[in-house]
Amino acid sequence: MQSWSSSSLPRIPGSPPPLRLYDTATGEIRPTAPSATARMYVCGITPYDATHLGHAATYLAFDLVNRVWRDAGHDVHYVQNVTDIDEPLLERAQRDQDDWVVLGMRETALFREDMVSLRVLPPTHYIGAVEAMSEISELVGKLLAAGAAYRIDDPEYPDVYYDSSATPDFGYESGLDERTMRQLSAERGGDPDRPGKRNPVDALLWRMARPGEPSWDSELGTGRPGWHVECAAISLNRLGAQIDVQGGGSDLIFPHHEFGAAHAEAFTGVHPFARHYCHAGMIALDGEKMSKSRGNLVFVSRLRADGVDPMAVRLALLSGHWRADRAWLPELLEQGNARMAAWREATRLDAGPSATDTVARLRTHLADDLDTPRALAAVDAWAQEARERRGRDSEAPGLIRDAVDALLGVAL
């Protein structure tokens, strides 16, 4: 699929400390240690509705990872998928008498526009499940051949499932007990109660064609893939057996990322699949997680249509910590607007206080598990002094503007 266009990335003098991030699997904040090329896979949207502020917050968090690595001189090989065939997409298309392909393309196009407006750097590869169909079925075939998968004993629909006992340490990513796994599996697209599975949580790899459902020919029989194996195949084939960061929202910790990792590890034998499993907190509206299925949504495209500056949206979302579950409130947007105006005014002055310390603090806070509240406060302090006409450094406003652009993705 077509990715989206990139905004420029000014180079900032000096160098940042290594990026440390919280890893769900170990429960620790640990340094990332990418080689010259950092590898990141971030789960993309299921395009059955427009991008809401929860999605945007998650993609912004990983955009900062991308920016901090680039600031440290790494190339970033970044892959993102589009789940352009899945149950929710088919259900919505049916509800609205829409064609699922057209629905997916329309919402994906809108997502790209939202990402461009928010200045999210584009992935190197932006891949739809449909266009990756043959590589996905190939991986399922290999997992079957390796004995990591099995066909369920159902003469009508002998679907293929992943055997959770195929890797010795299944469960290491989420660290959940069996009961919780089973519960989350039922809530998040799994089918723990289906008879004939070796383990109730075992995840679907290949669903044989049902009447009226879209399907694809493959050596496994005509059908369509399960959700987790899509991301495993798309990632493995572009980023190799081990990645630096697997990203997504915390609703993907289980089963999605647990199974994605297990599929990849069962195939490659390389452990861990991701050196960091990183999960953004959930954005809530009116006390509940913002979600397409609940319908309590604030759309990025709606805000744009209402004339809201996307940079204020960006600042509003970055004002909270990326891992914290947090509420979206209209006040956040007001604060984002005020901050943007203050920073714009300060960086348009002829001179200001020296920017060296502020840039160093900005880098230090971002490297510390993306501590954006403190990073924003560092820029606030500089902007305040500049507006009080303290300091005579004529280079400083330009340097702050460049640093805010490169590191926070905010164009002033």
Give residues 227-266 in contact with Zn ion (rule: CB under 5 A). Answer: 231
Q: How far apart are CA 4 and CA 359, in angstroms?
A: 29
Q: How far apart are CA 412 and CA 410, in angstroms?
A: 6
CB of 188 to ligand 5CA, least distance (A): 9
Pick between residue 227 and residue 343 the one whose CB is nearest to ligand 5CA: 227
CB 298: neighbour CB atoms within 10 A?
A: 17
Whether the upstream peptide bond of residue 255 has omega within 30° of 0, thus cis, is yes
CB of 56 to ligand 5CA, least distance (A): 8
Whether the upstream peptide bond of residue 397 has omega within 30° of 0, thus cis, is no
> For residue 132, how far is the Cα from the chain centroid?
19
Residue nearest to Zn ion (CB): 43
Q: Supply 230's token pair.
A: 């899509």
Stretch of 40-48, 279-287, 366-374, 376-384 lying at the interface with Zn ion (CB under 5 A) = 40-48
Pick between residue 55 and residue 238 the one whose CB is nearest to ligand 5CA: 55
295 φ/ψ sector (left φ>0, alpha ψ -120 to 50, else beta): left
Pick between residue 45 and residue 408 the one whose CB is nearest to ligand 5CA: 45
User: Is 82 among the residues that bind Zn ion (CB under 5 A)?
Assistant: no
Size of the site for Zn ion (CB under 5 A): 2
Q: Give the residue from 268, 264, 195, 207 showing the smallest Cα distance to 233.
A: 264
Binding site for ligand 5CA (CB under 6 A): 43-46, 54-55, 57-58, 81, 83, 231, 248-249, 251-252, 280, 282-283, 289-291
CB of 201 to ligand 5CA, least distance (A): 18
Q: How big is the chain by its Cα radius of gyration, in Å?
A: 22
CB of 81 to Zn ion, least distance (A): 6
CB of 162 to Zn ion, least distance (A): 15
- 289 binds, options ligand 5CA, Zn ion, none, Cβ within 5 to 8 A by partner type: ligand 5CA
CB of 366 to ligand 5CA, least distance (A): 20
Pick between residue 53 and residue 378 the one whose CB is nearest to ligand 5CA: 53
Q: Give the residue from 218, 195, 87, 242 showing the smallest Cα distance to 142.
A: 218
Which helix (H) or strand (E) segment holds residue 403: the answer is helix 396-408
- 166 binds, options Zn ion, ligand 5CA, none, Cβ within 5 to 8 A by partner type: none
- Residue from 1, 12, 19, 43 touching Zn ion (CB under 5 A): that is 43
Bridge-based pairing of strands 149-151 and 125-128 is unpaired
Cβ atoms of 386 and 343 closer than 8 Å: no
Interface contacts to Zn ion, rule CB under 5 A: 43, 231
